[in-house]
Amino acid sequence: MKIKTASITISLLFILQYVFAQSSISNNIFTLHGKLLGSQPDSVLIYYKNTQGNNTFQSRPIFNNRFIITDSLTRPSYALILFKNLGETITDSAFEVRAKEIYLEPGLLSLVVDASRMDSLKLSGSQSEDEWVDLYKNTNLVRKEMQPLTDKYNQEKDPAKAAEITTLFEPYEDRIKSLNYRFFLEHPNSYVTAHLLVDMVRAESLDSSRRVYNNFNAELKESDDAKKVAQEIEKMELALPGNMATDFMAADTSGKAVALSDYKDKYVLLDFWASWCPPCRKSNPHLVELYKKYKSKGLNIIGIAWDDDTQTGWKKAMMKDGLGLWPNILNGSNTDNDIGEKYAIHFVPTRILIDPSGKIIGRFGDNNNSDAAMDKMLLDVFKE
| 295-320 pLDDT, tens digit each | 999 999 999 999 888 888 899 999 99
Q: Tell me the mean pLDDT in the region 118-143.
A: 96
Over the stretch 187-231, which tens digit does the pLDDT of each residue have? 999 999 999 999 888 878 888 999 999 999 999 999 999 999 999
**CATH topology for the 2-124 domain:** Immunoglobulin-like (2.60.40)
Report yes or no: 330 and 307 within 8 Å, Cβ to Cβ.
yes
Q: What is the pLDDT of the chain when averaged over all its residues?
A: 89
Does residue 106 carry a pLDDT above 90? yes
Residues in the chain: 384
Q: Do domains 2-124 and 249-381 have the same CATH topology?
A: no
Q: Tell me the mean pLDDT in the region 119-128.
A: 96
CA-closest candidate to residue 331, choices 308, 363, 353, 365: 308
pLDDT of 214 reads 97
Q: Which residues of 271-292 are buried (b: 16+ CB within 10 A; e: fewer)?
A: bbbbbbbebbbebbeebbebbe
Cα end-to-end span (Å), the chain:
98
Which band of pLDDT confidence, cut at 50, 70 and 90, is reported for residue 5? very low
CA atoms lying within 13 Å on the CB side of residue 368: 6
Strands 328-330 and 299-305, by their bridges, are: parallel
Amino acid at 348: V
CA atoms lying within 13 Å on the CB side of residue 181: 17
CA-closest candidate to residue 384, choices 306, 294, 312: 294
Amino acid at 237: E
CA distance 60 to 49: 17
CA atoms lying within 13 Å on the CB side of residue 158: 4
Report pTM. Answer: 0.79
Q: Is the peptide bond before 349 cis (omega within 30 degrees of 0)?
A: yes
Helix (H) or strand (E) holding 350: strand 350-354
Does residue 108 carry a pLDDT above 60? yes
Phi, psi of 140 (to 5 degrees): -70, -25
Contacts of 54 (CB under 8 A, 6+ apart): none
Does residue 115 carry a pLDDT above 70? yes
pLDDT of 7 reads 47
Which band of pLDDT confidence, cut at 50, 70 and 90, is reported for residue 6? very low
Alpha helices in the chain (DSSP H): 2-23, 92-98, 127-155, 159-166, 170-186, 191-200, 206-215, 218-221, 224-238, 278-294, 311-321, 339-342, 371-381
Which band of pLDDT confidence, cut at 50, 70 and 90, is reported for residue 10? very low
Map out the domains of the chain as residue ranges: 2-124, 129-238, 249-381
pLDDT of 384 reads 56
Q: Tell me the mean pLDDT in the region 51-77.
A: 92
The more confident residue out of 25 and 203 is: 203
pLDDT of 205 reads 82
CB-CB neighbours of 80 under 10 Å? 16
CA distance 290 to 299: 9
Q: Tell me the mean pLDDT in the region 130-148.
A: 96
Does residue 14 carry a pLDDT above 70? no
Over the stretch 327-353, which tens digit does the pLDDT of each residue have? 999 999 888 889 999 999 988 999 999
Contacts of 298 (CB under 8 A, 6+ apart): 266, 267, 382
Query: Which of 17-26, 35-44, 79-88, 180-189 has maximum average pLDDT?
Result: 180-189
Does residue 12 carry a pLDDT above 60? no
CA-closest candidate to residue 364, choices 375, 355, 352: 352
Sheet of 350-354: strands edge to edge? 328-330, 299-305, 267-273, 350-354, 360-364
Q: Tell me the mean pLDDT in the region 110-136.
A: 96
pLDDT of 9 reads 47
Contacts of 148 (CB under 8 A, 6+ apart): none
pLDDT of 22 reads 47
Report yes or no: 56 and 49 within 8 Å, Cβ to Cβ.
yes
Query: Per CATH, is 249-381 categorized as 3.40.50.300?
Result: no
